[in-house]
Amino acid sequence: MRNDRRGGQRRNNPRQERSDPLLSVEWCRIIDQPEAEAVIVVVTEPSLHVIRLRPKSGTGLRSVGERIYMGIDHDKREVVQDILGFARIRDLSNSASVELPVVIQQIIEDSPDVFIQQFFNRAGNLSLKMHAFELLPGVGNKKAIEMVSSRGRTGWDNFTQLNEDCNINAQELLAKRFVSEIEDRNLQPRLLDLLLRQGE
């Protein structure tokens, strides 16, 4: 503590150490690589942060959706030179905006354990009047009740079973919800925070 001008004591208020959400990220998928810039725009797995990376010289153009290593072990990095930080969504190119939901849907499809077990098989009521399934685009109260009934006690084992039982494209709906949350940080409740970013 130190004295302030008024004779009282003021506490030194050190900034609370917040962990960097990118420190634990190892893999990401490319959504854009503008030729004019030496930057790759990616979505991290599984936390779905949109970030900018500087590629190593001579790596050439990479394909959209390609999975690359960006972890802290620099020896394993074949493509990534530096992590530049979070990308501003409003600054994404048109192609990146179009590819974002497609790449997120790929991530969802490649990680059924995370999304089926953690969300679709466990989702419950958010309030007395709203079920978590209603956060998905196009799913209202009636459809949510049908989905809960179809889920039963055992839940679903894979997306094919889920989609057939509920007559939906679960991966696409979840990807659209995640994109909405990425684009609008004020959208509440946030499935990204509830499912993927709890430790951040």
Same domain, 31 and 79: yes
- pLDDT band, very low/low/confident/very high, at 57 (cuts 50, 70, 90): confident
Q: What is the span of the domain harbouring residue 127? A: 111-196
For residue 63, give the amino acid letter.
S
Q: Residue 17: pLDDT above 80?
A: no
Same domain, 68 and 124: no
Rounded distance, CA 100 to CA 49, Å? 11
Asked if residue 33 belongs to a domain, the reply is yes
The two tokens of residue 47 are 């936390």
Whether the CB-CB separation of 38 and 23 falls below 8 Å is answered with no
Same domain, 126 and 185: yes
Task: Give the Cβ contact number of residue 101 at 10 Å.
Answer: 17
As a residue count, the chain comes to 200
Candidate from 35-44, 103-112, 135-144, 161-170 with smallest mean pLDDT: 35-44
Same domain, 74 and 118: no
Q: What is the DSSP letter of 49?
A: -
Asked if residue 67 belongs to a domain, the reply is yes
Asked if residue 18 belongs to a domain, the reply is no
Mean pLDDT, residues 58-87: 91
Percentage, residues of the chain above pLDDT 70:
88
Rounded distance, CA 104 to CA 115, Å? 12
Q: Residue 36: pLDDT above 90?
A: no
Question: Count of domains in the chain?
Answer: 2
Convert the pLDDT of each residue in 73-94 to its tens digit.
989 999 999 999 999 999 899 9
Pair type for strands 9-10 and 40-45? unpaired
Same domain, 115 and 185: yes
Asked if residue 8 belongs to a domain, the reply is no
Whether the CB-CB separation of 31 and 42 falls below 8 Å is answered with yes
Same domain, 120 and 192: yes
Same domain, 117 and 180: yes
What pLDDT is attached to residue 5? 52
- pLDDT band, very low/low/confident/very high, at 8 (cuts 50, 70, 90): low
Task: Give the Cβ contact number of residue 13 at 10 Å.
Answer: 6
